[in-house]
Structure 1
Amino acid sequence: MSALTPRATPIAPGVLPEFGMKGKVIVVSGGAQGLGVVQTEALLEAGAIVHVFDRQPEPSAGSYYQEVARRAKEELNTSLHYHQVDVRTGVDKLNKISEEIAEKHGRLDGLLAAAGIQQETPALEYTAADADRLLGVNVTGVLMTAQAVARQMVRLGQPGSMVLIASMSGTIANKGLICPVYNASKAAVIQLARNLAMEWGVKGIRVNTISPGYIVTDMVQKLFVEYPERETEWPKHNMLGKLSRPEDYRGAAVFLLSDASSFMTGADLRIDGGHTAW
């Protein structure tokens, strides 16, 4: 639509309809905890139907995930579905579940690939098995999940959007944080997204990445007990002088998976408080 072409349908003041996701079907891998479950809630609030892929059993009653599921049903007039599957070892199951989702809804609109693991080990001490496991989840697992979802988009002949969770660590070496294979895996995710965007763009499938800075999750809070100096030192490494929380990335997920980013693909959205801009 050009600047001189009026909208066919007037919109309410203060509303940006291109951010709306009502009826869209989105897969979120690693969506049971941490950043994944917070972004899942944001997508539900925007109106999406969300299917979570996670290797853990479905979280129990009283968990944040179950509260989000309750909100989806009782407050948001949408639905949240759980599928236990390992993105590294369950490739056949990934494809089967993705096909079932597409058949059930007659569509599959997007993927947020948030499943990932971390390991802090000096390069001289890393074992081949540990490296294979981490790269298997963070790179191969992301590719296999994206592939499973893309197959259904192509089969249905519909466009879609994918967001792969990378990290600022895919662009820099974190001062004082010894995790060479993790950082390499996130650099691979950024490059993977560019290549998928190139290959699948002609099919109407957009692929972008989000590169978060340090995020204070439950896991990181436990890390601060072991390394209390990090809680005070890490905020000094960015321009805002503070650490992020999962909620700081809600808008980015909705933006990239909605029509609001319809001309954006092959890009990395870095949200790091200016950490990498010094």
Structure 2
Amino acid sequence: MAEAITEAGAEVHCFDILPEPEDDFIATQELANKAHIGKLFYHHVDVRDPKLLNDVVEKIASRNNRLDGLVAAAGVQQVTEAIDYTADDVTKMMDINYTGVFMTAQAAARQMMALNSPGSIVLVASMSGMVANKGLNSPVYNSSKAAVIQLGRNLAMEWGKKGIRVNSLCPGHVITPMVEKNFEEVPELRKIWERESMLGRLSRPEEFTGAAIFMLSEASSYMTGSTLVIDGGHTAW
């Protein structure tokens, strides 16, 4: 998504908990800075640290006295039987998947309001916030994504008159390192998920870049409080 947004012309700042970015980020950054209209930057940020989060967002916004958009995608998974979850497990996941996303959106909105810079916020939820994931026991992850969808509606209601749009993007099953780890933990999972897709396959990360650019841009200027589901028909059965 970051690569595509730089190609569309934006200056993109990525946050992650890793002290230094992975090699694929460096390659994308070099490509963006050489061949794209926009540019790509990396910041070591833990979304569970609201002070750091707000400080970094404020510095970014002050570069050009504007902040146009946010894609909040922080999320972790834990495959555990519901009966075996501990309270600490639940708190840790919700701190990242829900509270971290909430605080990131809040930090961005705070700068948009301070600078009178209307913008668009995209919360990356999941179709897992609408259905139980057949074949995978992940009750807290699914619950956290349902919470993100509801958060998007409420933030849209509160911030709409400030010129800030908030929408949720709900991908279906995407082949990412996190999902590949799930396949190792549950060997039959991939076949189950492919069978549940009306297209008979799982998605790739790049298949959501157009949606992100649409939701961030003026192309979606009358869209707020909405949930965009792109799931290969999984939830339409």
* Range class of TM-score, shorter chain: over 0.9
Structure-1 residue corresponding to 2:132: 173
What pairs with 1:54-69 in structure 2 (closer than 5 Å)?
54-60=16-22, 63-69=23-29
Larger deviation, residues 257-266 vs 70-79: 70-79
Q: Partner amino acid for 1:259?
A: E
Q: Which has the higher helix share?
A: 2
SS state at 2:76 partner: coil
Residue number in structure 2 paired with 1:49: 11
- Partner residue, 2:178: 219
Give me the whole-angstrom Cα distance separating, in 1, the residues matched to 2:215 and 2:27.
Answer: 25
Q: 2:150 aligns with which of 191, 196, 215?
A: 191
Q: How far does residue 227 in structure 1 lie from its aligned partner after superposition?
A: 2.9
Query: 1:132 corresponds to which residue?
Result: 91
Aligned to 1:95: 54
Displacement of 1:68 after TM fit?
A: 0.9
- Contact preservation (8 Å) 2:79, 2:182: no
1:57 alignment partner, SS class = coil
- CA offset at residue 218 of structure 1? 2.5
Match in the other structure for 1:71: 31
Instruction: Provide structure 2 residue ranges, at least 5 long, that are not aligned to the other structure.
Output: none
| Structure with the greater alpha carbon radius of gyration | 1
Picking from 58, 78, 89, the partner of 1:119 is 78
Aligned partner of residue 71 in structure 2, secondary structure: strand
Aligned to 1:8: none
Per-residue deviation, 1:222 = 3.6
Shift of 1:78: 2.5
CA RMSD of aligned residues (A): 1.1
Q: Which runs of 5+ in 1 are unaligned?
A: 1-38
Pick aligned residue for 2:220 from 238, 261, 264: 261
The answer to whether structure 1 residue 209 and structure 2 residue 168 are counterparts is yes
Q: Which is worse superposed, 105-114 or 75-84?
A: 75-84
- Measured in 2, the distance between the counterparts of 1:126 and 1:190 equals 23
Deviates more, 1:76-85 or 1:162-171: 76-85
Q: Deviations over 1:29-76 (max 9, x none)?
A: xxxxxxxxxx1011011010001111112225xx21111100111111
SS in 2 for 1:52: strand
State the shift of 1:269 in Å. Answer: 0.4
Superposed displacement of residue 115, structure 1: 1.1
> What one-letter code is carried by the residue in structure 2 that aligns with 1:64?
D
- Is the Cα–Cα contact under 8 Å of residues 129 and 143 in structure 2 kept in the other structure? yes
**Range with bigger deviation, 68-77 or 138-147:** 68-77
Q: After the TM superposition, list the runs of 4 or more consecutive aligned residues in structure 1 that deviate by more than 4 angstroms.
A: none
Please say if 1:276 is aligned against 2:235: yes
**Aligned residues of 2:10 and 2:37 also touching (Cα < 8 A):** no
Superposition deviation, residue 105 in structure 1: 1.6
**Cα deviations by residue, 1:93-114 (Å, 9 ceiling, x for unpaired):** 1111111111112111110001
Give me the whole-angstrom Cα distance separating, in 2, the residues matched to 1:59 and 1:155.
30
Give the aligned residue type for 1:113: A
Which residue identity is paired with 2:8?
A
Q: CA offset at residue 219 of structure 1?
A: 3.0
Aligned to 1:25: none
User: Shift of the alpha carbon at 1:223?
Assistant: 3.2
Take 1:96 and 1:210, find their aligned partners in 2: how far apart are those partners? 26
Q: Secondary structure at the match of 1:228?
A: coil
> How far apart, CA to CA, are the structure 2 residues paired with 1:78 and 1:275?
35
